Amino acid sequence: MKKLLLIALTTTLATSSLAQSTATTLSGSLESESTSAVKNWNVSVSSTTSASVVEADSYDNYVNSSLSARLSYKLNDRLTAQSSVAAAKEMKGARKQYFSSAYLGLSGLIKSFNSDISLSGLTRVYLPVNANSRRDTTFNGRVMAGLSGSFNLAKLGLKYVSLTLSSTGAKNFHEFKRTRTNSPNTNYYVTNTAALGYAPFKKVSFSFYFSNTSRWDYENKTKGDTFSMGQSVYWALEQGFSISAGHDLGGLTYGYTGDSLDVALFDKNKSSVYTSVSYVY
């Protein structure tokens, strides 16, 4: 179960940040505009602690701590270059520490139709920094590209509510087509995400997201779809600091049998909770 949850969360790595950005679009716009007016670059650092909600003596119980840093540089009014690296440490069991991900990317506004609707895009190159992925799956990197549409729903009577719809495709690179345990590696996948943000206050916002990932192996055979879903609250503090807390869960969309939907708002065997502290300079 632990391995399955990690697969679901790994293939939908961008969805949590997407949901958070959706929720903070309204509440954080004044801060971000004032920052960008001063300089074209910023550095953000986040420290996150996550834990499963299964019984403490269960094999699937875990507590992890992670640290991530991202450098962003605004190339022009529409395009931003980014680089990111993240590391994690197991706080129970073997207490291993490792680099979890790293990428170089570009993101930006493609078209603003009006003040309420916009279309954005991103592209990223992920580096094979995770030793476990290199050893177990011979992972050699990933390229990713995606589109997202943002909608302010105030004119529909939903004040302070924003909606983001995104679709992201990724191509993995492996030395071998199968893992060390002879399971098929994922060649490419497509993730579709819907995220709702609610920001009734200037510095506090709430979000909900759901994503589904379809995967194919190197024989072009479909693998079981995975899902990721979560809810969070975000609070912008002073001097560039912010905190957030939330709940995430993930797994096989259609369960082990593949013939019935297996998605719930909460499942103690699939759920985790987290808190995060971030600083943007």
How far, CA to CA in Å, does 132 sit from each of 137, 161, 239? 8, 40, 37
Number of domains in the chain: 1
Q: How confident is the model at residue 222 (pLDDT cuts 50, 70, 90)?
A: very high
Q: What is the dihedral of CA 101, 151, 254, 182, to 10 degrees?
A: -20
Q: What percentage of the chain carries pLDDT values higher than 70?
A: 86
pLDDT at residue 229 greater than cutoff 90: yes
72 three-class SS: strand
CATH code at position 157: 2.40.160.40
> DSSP assignment, residue 222?
E
> DSSP assignment, residue 156?
G
257 versus 1: the higher-pLDDT residue is 257
Range of the domain at 229: 2-280
Q: What is the pTM of this model?
A: 0.85
Q: How confident is the model at residue 6 (pLDDT cuts 50, 70, 90)?
A: very low
pLDDT at residue 20 greater than cutoff 80: no
Q: What percentage of the chain carries pLDDT values higher than 90?
A: 72
The predicted-structure confidence for 89-106, as pLDDT tens digits, reads as follows: 998 888 889 999 999 999
The predicted-structure confidence for 127-142, as pLDDT tens digits, reads as follows: 999 999 999 999 999 9
Q: In sequence order, which residues have a C-beta less than 8 Å from that of residue 197 and are 6 or more positions away?
A: 19, 22, 23, 24, 25, 26, 161, 162, 163, 164, 205, 206, 207
pLDDT at residue 14 greater than cutoff 80: no
pLDDT value at position 38? 62
Mean pLDDT of the chain: 87
pLDDT value at position 185? 96
pLDDT value at position 197? 97
pLDDT at residue 123 greater than cutoff 60: yes
> DSSP assignment, residue 155?
G
Max avg pLDDT among 24-38, 116-130, 245-259: 116-130
Name residue 248's beta-bridge partners: 230, 272
